[in-house]
Amino acid sequence: MAKGRPLGLTLYEFGAVVRSLLGVLGVTAVALYLGSPGAAIAAGGAAAMAGATALQDSPRSRLPLVVAVSVEMALAVAAGGLSSAWTPAFLAVVAAWCFTAGMQWALSANAGMVASGAAILLVTASPTADSLTTVSTASGLALVGGLAQGVLIALWPQRRWRDQREALALAYRSLGADATRLASDPGAQVDRQPLIRLREAFTLSESQARLRPPAYRGWYGLPERIMVTLTALGREGPRDGAAADVLQAGADLLDLIAQRAPRRQIGPALARVDAAAEQLSGATRIVAQRLSHQLSEAVELHLGLFEPEQIAPLRRPGLPHSWAVAAGLIRAQLSWRSPILRHAMRLTIAATAGVTMGRAAGAEYGYWIAVTVLMVLRPETAHTYTRCIGRITGTAIGVVAASSFTALLHPGGLASVALAVVFLGIAYLAADFGYLVVSAALAAAIIFLLDVSGGVDTSTVEQRWFATIIGGALAVIVHVCLPDSALVRLHQRAGELLKTEIDYAATVIKAFVHDLDHPAEMLSAAWQRAASARTAFEAAAGATRTDDPEIRRWLRTYRASLNAVTTSCATLESTLPSHPSPTLNREFTSAIDGYVKALMGNPATPAAPWRVDAEQLAAAAVAVRDTAPLLSSDDGPARVLVGELATITQVVVDIAHVRPVGQSAAHPWPTSAE
């Protein structure tokens, strides 16, 4: 038996962050000694971006991504250095780079942020002509600075990642053994303990879940879905030799995944699963094909560079080819309605205009207009203006504070580098406190890095502050002039409303199995967020053309579904015990935790609103139902919970499969990751 356990907070691993910051400091200091201040800026900026990439949470090796980021930074430095002396060529390079950077948000928010960081290195290139040797030195040091972060993370990987890799290997090995047993014995019991340990290895607090990538849920959610499918297929194994063949082929593939086998071994094993699935017919064939798709996703995670939320929609057989997939994700956004394409256009227009204004005015710090644009402009719609203003405010605070410090105290080159590293560390620490604090810390870090050459006076503060205001105004104006389409805004508001309703439901559900701090206040706050989101959704619906009967029909269905979720939550809240039952079974508690994680869905991405993986949610509901018999006679509220979860699951799955107007079969409703 297990009592409800408190939900704790996990942060960046302190030692890894310190090593990364020391790496930035060391590389920048060496570059300042060996090269020019421009080379030090390039090396420090590249090291900072590569370090942020290296610290991203993922159980797979970060080295390939760090190498790619390092090369991207070096190319940006080289492109800026070679073209900056001739303004027309420089503007063309800035426009091309910014458009490419904007489109990289189709891959992930991290990819878009890294590309924007590289663009900052590009636009800060000196307008005076540099020799080829100087440019080569700067780009080479940028490459070295980034690769140094890869060396650090390879030598000292975070302990959490090692634990997660071990848990993944154990889970897939256990699934392989389960598949082998089910092939001959349909009544065989699957071992849930490795999956419970896997979920615990990836479980984060609610605060961290909002900041960390949604990949975490995918890493343990996929094995749980595979377990459900194996169990369903195992019922047919003894009666159907072809089903047993699929299970055995799947077991072989799962063993190879657990062993982290190379591509040449996994390829034929995956092909055998696909071939065995094709031999079936009827309902069993559908289950076998679902297993084949899930194993293909597992292979993609094993071999590729993409995260679960990017892989799930692909649903394609065969081995992963990361570059081809990346190109496909970007091509999918090359439509006028795409928020990613519109963001790329906004970023290109605003950044190029900022560089043009700075060059035309002849201002020494005119480049800061474009830097501000790159720091504050995001492919958001629903919260663009409030968050954009917040980032502009934070950037202005950081710029004024750092520039004033430099102008008054005139720190030397190494001191400026050290201050830049300190504020970069503050940005890591401030990740839990919101984008305004992070924006201020990052702006201050960039200012200190740019001021390694000295020569700053009090007039610099005013120039940079004015450039920040101009850049922020450009970011807002370009969004006003080129907004996302009304249907995209409606879809995003709908996703936000569903997300807040689900957050309310998740809070109620968690209170059945965990002691929450101030549960009444948490429930009230969740309900108020849902009410605010409903108001915003209705406003977006009112701004959208509603004479189309398909839109009206979808709105009615959507509202009715959300009302059903609210009714179930009200029923649960009325039966909520003051404290979780001390007799709750540990497996039931873990199943509820898994259900809550699946219910909370994947966070909104630049390319799509918040969405729910209907298949993963259904699998989590099955896990809850399977553990319900473990409840004791004293667990009456928990039995009510199981019944209401069935209703919530059905409603959310129905919402996930609804395709509103404007969505084609190739581009399904974005709240679903079917």
Tens digits of residue pLDDT in 351-373: 999 999 999 988 888 899 999 99
Whether residue 507 lies inside any domain: the answer is yes
Q: Tell me which of 129 and 180 has the higher pLDDT.
A: 180
DSSP secondary structure letters along 576-617:
--SS--TT--HHHHHHHHHHHHHHT-BPPBTTB--BB-HHHH
Which of 130, 157, 184 marks a domain boundary?
A: 157
Which of 157, 178, 207 marks a domain boundary?
A: 157
CB crowding 558-581: b at 16 or more within 10 Å, else e: beebbebbbebbebbbeebeeebb
CB crowding 608-645: b at 16 or more within 10 Å, else e: bbbbbbbbbbbbbbbbbebbbeebeeebebbebbbebb
Same domain, 295 and 368: no
Coil, strand or helix at 672: strand
Report the number of distinct structural domains present in the chain. 4
Rounded to the nearest 10 degrees, how much is the dihedral formed by the CA atoms of 219, 224, 229, 235?
150
pLDDT at 236: 63
Enclosing domain of residue 109? 1-157
Q: Which helix (H) or strand (E) holds 68?
A: helix 63-83
Alpha helices, DSSP H, located in 451-515: 458-481, 486-513
Q: Worst-scoring range by mean pLDDT, 7-11, 103-107, 635-639, 644-648?
A: 7-11
Same domain, 494 and 436: no
Predicted confidence (pLDDT) at residue 77 exceeds the cutoff of 50: yes
Average confidence (pLDDT) over 8-25 = 77
- The dihedral built from the CA positions of residue 286, 290, 291 and 292, taken in this order, carries a sign that is positive
* Highest-pLDDT range among 40-49, 53-62, 290-299: 40-49
Whether residue 151 lies inside any domain: the answer is yes
pLDDT at 163: 82
Same domain, 520 and 648: yes
pLDDT at 1: 33
Whether residue 227 lies inside any domain: the answer is yes
Give the whole-angstrom CA distance, residue 111 versus residue 475: 20
Same domain, 228 and 365: no
pLDDT at 189: 80
Whether residue 668 lies inside any domain: the answer is no
Whether residue 513 lies inside any domain: the answer is yes
Average confidence (pLDDT) over 408-417 = 89
Average confidence (pLDDT) over 659-670 = 44
Predicted confidence (pLDDT) at residue 309 exceeds the cutoff of 70: no
Predicted confidence (pLDDT) at residue 206 exceeds the cutoff of 50: yes
Same domain, 293 and 355: no
Give the whole-angstrom CA distance, residue 319 versus residue 267: 6
Reading the block at residue 64, the tokens are: 């390939």
Residue 78, CB-side half-sphere exposure with 13 Å CA sphere: 15
Read off the pLDDT of residues 153-179 as tens digits, 9 standing for 90 and up: 888 877 777 888 888 899 999 999 999
Reading the block at residue 172, the tokens are: 């897939």
Same domain, 360 and 465: yes
- The dihedral built from the CA positions of residue 340, 346, 348 and 350, taken in this order, carries a sign that is negative
Reading the block at residue 374, the tokens are: 């790159």
Give the whole-angstrom CA distance, residue 610 versus residue 591: 23
pLDDT at 507: 85
Same domain, 530 and 454: no
Same domain, 312 and 241: yes
pTM here is 0.77
| pLDDT grade for 602, boundaries at 50, 70 and 90 | low
Same domain, 388 and 452: yes
The full 3-state SS of 137-168, as one line of letters, equals HHHHHHHHHHHHHHHHHHHCCCHHHHHHHHHH
Same domain, 458 and 504: no
Whether residue 669 lies inside any domain: the answer is no
Which of 331, 349, 381 marks a domain boundary?
A: 331
Closest CA to 351 of 658, 644, 93, 30: 93
Alpha helices, DSSP H, located in 332-412: 339-361, 367-376, 384-409
Predicted confidence (pLDDT) at residue 668 exceeds the cutoff of 90: no
| pLDDT grade for 545, boundaries at 50, 70 and 90 | low
**Average confidence score pLDDT of the chain:** 81
Closest CA to 115 of 673, 610, 606, 670: 606
Average confidence (pLDDT) over 57-64 = 70
Whether residue 662 lies inside any domain: the answer is no
| pLDDT grade for 492, boundaries at 50, 70 and 90 | confident
Same domain, 514 and 614: yes
Predicted confidence (pLDDT) at residue 538 exceeds the cutoff of 70: yes
| pLDDT grade for 108, boundaries at 50, 70 and 90 | confident
Same domain, 636 and 510: yes
Give the whole-angstrom CA distance, residue 516 versus residue 313: 35
pLDDT at 4: 34
The answer to whether 75 touches 145, Cβ cutoff 8 Å, is no
Coil, strand or helix at 316: coil
pLDDT at 174: 93
Whether residue 674 lies inside any domain: the answer is no
Biggest CA–CA distance in the chain, Å, is 84
